[in-house]
Each structure stands twice: as structure tokens, then as C-alpha cells.
């Protein structure tokens, strides 16, 4: 039996793509190009470190320092540098949920990276999974970063990502963990938005399954 696999951010793109766009995404998932040069990972790494440290901006400033000193060798490198700098500057303007600044938390590194939605394996691979301990209770959440200047997510796509994150956590969490919807969110840098999972998660999941 064939298993269908799609990464979470590309699944969000799939939900709003044209038929031609959906076909392109599916082909990319089935036959990824091993020679495709990825865009610079400096901004994502900086944002991930910031999220792991109560929203501390030191990793962002360090990443900006690295990028500002970089001397691109070609046009693609210059574009990459400029987009990366803009991404970090935009992250600084985003407002994280207050709990990130008011409470310490631990970073979880789950071995399981995927969840199944309507028979399709969605590779979630959250950028950050957190656990807060508040009033003797354990609250967990997961964050997925999206950096794409050319294709930022709209609200619906971001909500889809947050919903799948919630579903993923429901499958991998400890028995005494409580999933906090506000802590399951899509952080879209060029969309200038942080969108959390809805409280009525069952209805949202039904909507997501219809997209597959």
C-alpha cells in the first residue's frame, strides 16, 4: 500500500494552490530535487534560537550581524542576503504570546516527526516544541516557522498549519500534558502574523481533512 507524504508548510500551500500548482507540489514531494540550492537558513536558525529562549532577540541581532558582514558573490546571493535581513527585521516586530516572556519553559525534541491526516502522512517537524509548567500543570505547544517572501501564508493557511500542529501534539504528548491551543501556532514572517490553533479543534480538523 502506497503512503502519501507531504511536508506541513507545503500542505498549507497545497490547500490554496491551483490545480497546476497542486500537481507541482505533489511532484516535488514524490521526486525532490537533490541539487536544488536551499535559501539561506540563517534567519530561521536565529528565529528558532529566539523562540527557545523566551523571545530573546540576541540570536536575531547576531544573525543580522553575520548577514550584514556577508559579501555576496552573485545576484542570487545578494537577494538571499536582503531577504534574510528583512525576515529577521520583520520577526522583531511580531508579538509572541505573553506566556513566552512571563514563564520559563523546556524545549522538547520528539522522535516522531509526522502525523496522519485522512490517510496522508504530513511531515510536521515543528521548529520548536515547548512545555510550560504552571500551577503544577504541564502545558505543551508547537511552533512552525514559515519564511517565504514570494508566497506568505494567508490566515486560512496559517490556521491549517496550527491545527495540524495541535493534532500532532495530541498524538505524541505525555499523558499528563495539556495542549494549549494558543501555544500551537504558525509564525509567518512575511505574512506578519502569528496564528494559533482554534479552541474548537474538531471542527477545524474536519475542514483540514477536506483539503486532502
Judgement on whether residues 198 and 141 belong to the same structural domain of the protein: yes
Number of domains in the chain: 2
Judgement on whether residues 85 and 169 belong to the same structural domain of the protein: no
- Give the pLDDT confidence of 103-147 residue by residue, as tens digits: 889 999 999 999 998 888 899 999 999 999 999 999 999 999 999
Judgement on whether residues 81 and 173 belong to the same structural domain of the protein: no
Domain of 203 in residue numbering reads as 99-210
Judgement on whether residues 113 and 87 belong to the same structural domain of the protein: no
Judgement on whether residues 103 and 51 belong to the same structural domain of the protein: no
Judgement on whether residues 155 and 64 belong to the same structural domain of the protein: no
Please report whether residue 36 resides in a domain. Answer: no
Judgement on whether residues 137 and 193 belong to the same structural domain of the protein: yes
Judgement on whether residues 169 and 84 belong to the same structural domain of the protein: no
As a whole number, mean pLDDT of residues 157-170 equals: 95
- Rounded to the nearest 10 degrees, how much is the dihedral formed by the CA atoms of 18, 20, 22, 23? 170
Judgement on whether residues 110 and 206 belong to the same structural domain of the protein: yes
Judgement on whether residues 105 and 196 belong to the same structural domain of the protein: yes
- Give the pLDDT confidence of 4-34 residue by residue, as tens digits: 788 898 888 888 877 777 777 766 766 665 5
Domain boundary among 77, 93, 109: 93
Cell numbers that stand for 169 in this block: 501534539
Judgement on whether residues 69 and 116 belong to the same structural domain of the protein: no
Please report whether residue 164 resides in a domain. Answer: yes
Give the chain's radius of gyration (CA, Å). 18
- 1 confidence band (pLDDT: 50, 70, 90): very low
- Give the pLDDT confidence of 176-209 residue by residue, as tens digits: 999 999 999 999 999 999 999 998 787 777 767 7
Judgement on whether residues 62 and 127 belong to the same structural domain of the protein: no
Q: What is the pTM for the complete model shown?
A: 0.89
Please report whether residue 21 resides in a domain. Answer: no
Amino acid at each position: 500500500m502506497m503512503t502519501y507524504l507531504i511536508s506541513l508548510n507545503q500542505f498549507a500551500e497545497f490547500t490554496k494552490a491551483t490545480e497546476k500548482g497542486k500537481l507541482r507540489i505533489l511532484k516535488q514531494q514524490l521526486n525532490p530535487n537533490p541539487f536544488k540550492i536551499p535559501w539561506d537558513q540563517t534567519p530561521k536558525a536565529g528565529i528558532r534560537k529566539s523562540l527557545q529562549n523566551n523571545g530573546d532577540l540576541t540570536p536575531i541581532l547576531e544573525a543580522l550581524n553575520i548577514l550584514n558582514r556577508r559579501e555576496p558573490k552573485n545576484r542570487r546571493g545578494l537577494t538571499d542576503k536582503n531577504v534574510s535581513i528583512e525576515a529577521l527585521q520583520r520577526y522583531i516586530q511580531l508579538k509572541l504570546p505573553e506566556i513566552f516572556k512571563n514563564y520559563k519553559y523546556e524545549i522538547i525534541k520528539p522522535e516522531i516527526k509526522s502525523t496522519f491526516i485522512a490517510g496522508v502522512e504530513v511531515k510536521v517537524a515543528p521548529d520548536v516544541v515547548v512545555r510550560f509548567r504552571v500551577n503544577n500543570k504541564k502545558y505543551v505547544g508547537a511552533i512552525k516557522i514559515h519564511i517565504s517572501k514570494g508566497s506568505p501564508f494567508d490566515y486560512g493557511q496559517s490556521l491549517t498549519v496550527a491545527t495540524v500542529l495541535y493534532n500532532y501534539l495530541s498524538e505524541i504528548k505525555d499523558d499528563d500534558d495539556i495542549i494549549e491551543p494558543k501555544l500551537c501556532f504558525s509564525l509567518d514572517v512575511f505574512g506578519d502574523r502569528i496564528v494559533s490553533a482554534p479552541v474548537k479543534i474538531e471542527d477545524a480538523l474536519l475542514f483540514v481533512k477536506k483539503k486532502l
